[in-house]
Amino acid sequence: DGGITQSPKYLFRKEGQNVTLSCEQNLNHDAMYWYRQDPGQGLRLIYYSQIVNDFQKGDIAEGYSVSREKKESFPLTVTSAQKNPTAFYLCASSTPGQGTYQPQHFGDGTRLSIL
């Protein structure tokens, strides 16, 4: 079955540490996204990538970094510069299609907490 796999499901970060969240898709989608979800809020876009080797900042990119070396993979690194990293992180993908008509497909998320 095609889908998006996020790992790990739970992650703990120590002070001053960088951590990397994995996102892999086998849907053959060109576009991939990272969102942050906080309680009582909608999803906020961190980074997105429309094609391999290219990515753009979203609304809350500070303290995060990404890479897109392969079509299937879009890892997110939460750096020590992100002072409030505790949140639920969601990865998504879509086919560009006509503009942005295409719905996004989501993974099951990674919950990041500070030790």
Which one of residues 34, 47, 48, 55 is an interface residue with other proteins (CB under 8 A)? 48
Residues 6+ apart with CB under 8 A from 42: none
Which one of residues 1, 2, 15, 41 is an interface residue with other proteins (CB under 8 A)? 41
34, 46 in Cβ contact below 8 A? yes
Phi-psi category of 59—alpha, beta or left, where left has phi over 0 and alpha has psi -120 to 50?
A: alpha
Q: Which is nearer to other proteins, 60 or 80 (CB)?
A: 60
Question: Which residues are at the interface with other proteins (CB under 8 A)?
Answer: 4, 6, 35, 40-43, 45, 48, 50, 88, 90, 92, 98-101, 103-109, 111
